[in-house]
């Protein structure tokens, strides 16, 4: 199994509070991604990173920010949590893009509930 650890695995937070989710990898993969999974929507890309301090927005980036100060860590921050951000969040890593090694490996997910 790819070495990907998401923390926390479960979190309940109040509306309006900031929340940070952490993704840690031991594979030294260049690319890291944050997705959210919601019923009826599949997985949707929030942000991704293509290197240290290099990030870009995905399909549903509003209300989220990310940071990658080290290769192994990719942080997702909800600046002011809202109930619409209640979801399961998945981190993924990939060795390369647009090549034969393009598959992504996923963490176990973080279930976030905003009340």
Partner 1 sequence: AQKVTQAQTEISVVEKEDVTLDCVYETRDTTYYLFWYKQPPSGELVFLIRRNSFDEQNEISGRYSWNFQKSTSSFNFTITASQVVDSAVYFCALSGSASGYALNFGKGTSLLVTP
**Which CB atom, from 42 or from 115, has the smaller least distance to partner 1?**
42
Task: Give the CA angle between residues 112, 3, 39 to the nearest 5°.
Answer: 30
What residue ranges bind partner 1 (CB under 8 A)?
Answer: 31, 33, 35, 40-45, 48, 50, 56, 58, 88, 90, 92, 94, 97-98, 100, 102-106, 108-109
Q: Which is nearer to partner 1, 16 or 54 (CB)?
A: 54
Q: What CA–CA distance (Å, rounded) separates 103 from 67?
A: 22
Beta carbon of residue 79, minimum distance to partner 1 (angstroms, whole number): 22
- Closer to partner 1 by CB, 14 or 42: give it: 42
Q: C-beta of 30: minimal distance to partner 1 in Å?
A: 11
Distance CA 14, CA 28 (A): 34
Instruction: Give the residue from 86, 85, 74, 78 showing the smallest Cα distance to 18.
Output: 78
Token readout for 71 is 């290769």
Smallest separation, CB 95 to partner 1 (Å): 12
Residues constituting the chain: 115
State the minimum distance, in angstroms, from the CB of residue 33 to partner 1.
Answer: 6
């Amino acid at each position: 199994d790819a070495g990907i650890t998401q923390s926390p695995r479960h979190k309940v937070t109040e509306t309006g509070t900031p929340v940070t989710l952490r993704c840690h990898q031991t594979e030294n993969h260049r690319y890291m991604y944050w997705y959210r999974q919601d019923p009826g929507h599949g997985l949707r890309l929030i942000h991704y990173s293509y290197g240290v301090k290099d990030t870009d927005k995905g399909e549903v980036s509003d209300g989220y920010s990310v940071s990658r100060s080290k290769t192994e860590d990719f942080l997702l921050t909800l600046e002011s949590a809202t109930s619409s951000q209640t979801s399961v969040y998945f981190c993924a890593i990939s060795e390369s893009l647009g090549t034969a090694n393009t598959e992504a490996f996923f963490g176990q997910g973080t279930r976030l509930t905003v009340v």
